[in-house]
Amino acid sequence: MFKNSVFKVSTDTKQWMRAAGIRAVKTTAQAAVALIPAAATISQVDWGVVAGTALLSGILSLLTSVAGIPEVMQKEEP
């Protein structure tokens, strides 16, 4: 379950932070884009809701990444 977790000594923290950050930014953008078409016109978009939901999705992405990220390779343990 915790493969490539940030808490494992064998995981490169810088590499993990970079991969987790990229995932969070992508998730945030996807959430924002998904909410915009809910309004009939661009002037009817509730930008506060869009921003809040997108920010929350980014935070949840980072928290989910704590369990592990497939893109991060573990160092060989001696």
In the predicted structure, residue 9 carries a pLDDT above the cut 70: yes
CA 29 – CA 75 distance, rounded (Å) = 31
Tell me the per-residue pLDDT of 11-39, one tens digit each, with 9 for 90 and over.
778 888 899 999 999 999 999 998 888 77
What is the C-alpha to C-alpha distance for residues 44 and 56, in angstroms, rounded to an integer? 21
The pair of three-digit structure tokens given for residue 73, joined into one six-digit string: 């390779």
* Residue carrying structure tokens 């506060």: 48
Confidence check: pLDDT of 63 > 70: yes
Q: Which of 74, 64, 62 is nearest to 17 (CA)?
A: 62
Q: Does 4 have pLDDT greater than 70? A: no
pTM metric for this prediction: 0.76
66's CB contacts (< 8 A; 6+ apart) are: 5, 6, 7
pLDDT at 45: 84
